[in-house]
Structure formats: structure tokens, C-alpha cells
Amino acid sequence: MKFPYLALISIAAVFVMADVCAQTSVAAFKPPLESSMPTGSTGAAIQAGKRILTATPQSVPQNVGNGLSCSNCHLDAGTVANAAPWVGIWGVFPEYRSRSGKIISLQERVNDCFERSMNGRALPYNSTEMNNILAYMQWLSTGVPTGSSVKGRGVGSIDQDINPNPDHGKLVYAAKCAACHGAEGLGIRDPDGSYAMPALWGKDSFNDGAGMARTYVAAAFVKRNMPLGQGNTLTDQEAVDVSEFFTHQPRPIYPHKANDWPKGDQPDDARL
């Protein structure tokens, strides 16, 4: 279960979770070809945004509090269906988000991930970094009609009536996940100190306010994408069990969880 991604479990979601869209139309999932990227200042901004999202600790170290990059959850730079893609995300915001209990902007959604999945600090809305991220997401949404969601947005869903068994999940983790994420879930580092494979728990992982810290959100992601390159090889029960196991291991605490779901509609697996 390789998460060359977990990081913006929550920029995990846009992202590591899939709040169901209010849009009535669904567009085909078709990321633009790299060769179609514009040149000049616009192209440079798009490239810079992609770098931030794929090498987040190195690009904006002051805004990252763990060892994750956004693409640890948003696989292949946000271009994989059912892996929290950014394709089409540009045209669906502002959007209502139940966790916030209000309409939020795309900038707010990006920062939600920085503060939760990255266990870090928000980017200023008018910063060069934020604008570059938005430029990349806008380019990824080329051809998607404004107001339309795309097929494969978010991470999909899984049967929430499945009763999780964390003891079995521990066995699944050892058999299917430890080779990439380490026996203790702390990830695997490259010689330069960066993570070749991200931590699933501990100080360098997402905090408990991230979408990926929820059992069934994580399970939906795991079912479709893990082990990396072997998506849909775990049973639903295995995905739920292993997610219950790793999401409830020690991790940073998000200090503002009490403000989540202000309308009282929090899901059963919400971390409170």
C-alpha cells in the first residue's frame, strides 16, 4: 500500500475525500497532455504549481509540518481517477462543504489540506505559491465545462455498513503495506532525507483532522489505489480493516476539530 502521496490525505482530497458534488452534469475524465501546456509566463506558473504539489516540503517548507507532499494522496500529480484528482476541480468551486458548514473557495479547500493533511500552515490567498497552484489546477481542468464534476472525482465510496476489524487490519498491513510504508508505518526515506514512501502515522504523517484520518474515506482510497499499482486487489473488508488500523495509530492532533461539521451532520467515522 504505497502512498507516494498522502498529503493533502488532505492538497487528501480537492481532494483526499469526496464531498458529493451538487453539480448535475458529469464530464469525462481526461487530463490534458503534458505537451499541451502553454509556454511563457502562464506555462511557468503551471509548472511551478505542479512542483509545489509534488515536492511540497521542499517547495514551501514553511507551510508543511510533516513529511508529505500533496501528490501522496492526489496520485500522479492529481491526474488519477478515484485518487483525489484535481482534473475538473477548477470549475466546481465555490462549493458547499459539509465539514465547513458553508460555501468555500478553491483557495480555502487548498488551505484546508495544508492545515490538515500537511499538518502545516495556510498559504496567503494572494501569494505566488497559491496562484501557481491554482494555475496548475485550472490547466488540469482544460476542456471540463464549468460547473461540471468529472467521473472519478474524489476517492469513491465503500460500504459503511462493513464492521472494521483493526486486529485483522494489522495483519493486512504487515502483508500488503509494510514493504512500502515500513513496519512501524513511518515511511521510507531517501538518502537526502526526503520520503520515498510516505509515513502513514507518526509525526511526519497527516493529522487527525485530515480526511484520510477517517476509516471509510481511507478505505475507499485504499480499495482503488493500494497497494500501489495493484488497486482493487484487496477485498472491501480488507480495505476497511487496514484503514481502521492505520488511521487510528498515533499522529498529530488538529487543534480545531471541534469546529468541524458545525451543523451537526458529522459522519460516524469523523475524528472528534
Predicted confidence (pLDDT) per residue in 113-168, tens digit: 999 999 999 999 999 999 999 999 999 999 999 999 999 999 999 999 999 999 99
pLDDT value at residue 232 = 97
**CATH number of the domain encompassing residue 88:** 1.10.760.10
- Residue 179 reports pLDDT greater than 80: yes
**267 lies in a domain?**
no
Count: domains in the chain: 2
Domain boundary among 121, 150, 179: 150
20 assigned to some structural domain? no
Do 255 and 203 belong together in one domain?
A: yes
Residue 2 lies in a domain: no
Domain span at residue 80 reads 26-150
- Residue 268 forms part of a structural domain: no
- 117 and 180, same domain (yes or no): no
4 has a pLDDT exceeding 90: no
At 194 the pLDDT is: 85
What is the pLDDT, as a whole number, of residue 128?
A: 98
How confident is the model over 86-111, as a mean pLDDT?
A: 97
Q: How confident is the model at residue 14 (pLDDT cuts 50, 70, 90)?
A: very low
| Residue 60: inside a domain | yes
Same domain, 140 and 35: yes
Per-residue pLDDT tens digits for 224-267:
999 999 999 999 999 999 999 999 999 999 999 999 999 999 99
Q: Are residues 138 and 190 part of one domain?
A: no
Of 98, 122, 150, the position where a domain reaches its end is 150
Residues 105 and 188 in one domain: no
Same domain, 107 and 170: no
Q: Are residues 171 and 228 in the same domain?
A: yes
Q: For residue 115, is it within any domain?
A: yes
197 and 108 housed in the same domain: no
Q: Which of 150, 182, 215 is the last residue of a domain?
A: 150
Which has the higher per-residue pLDDT, 44 or 271? 44
In a domain, 64, yes or no: yes
Predicted TM-score (pTM) of the model is: 0.89
Q: In the prediction, which pLDDT does 192 show?
A: 82
* DSSP of the chain: ---SB----------SS-PPP--S-EE---PPPGGG---HHHHHHHHHHHHHHHSHHHH-GGG--SS--TTBTSHHHHTSTTS---TTGGGG-SEEETTTTEEE-HHHHHHHHHHHTS-S-PPPTTSHHHHHHHHHHHHHTTTPPTT-EETT-TT----TTSPP-HHHHHHHHHHHTHHHH-TTS--EE-TTSSEEE--SSSTTS--TTSGGGSHHHHHHHHHHH-STT-TT-S-HHHHHHHHHHHHTSS-PPPTTGGGSSTTS---TT---
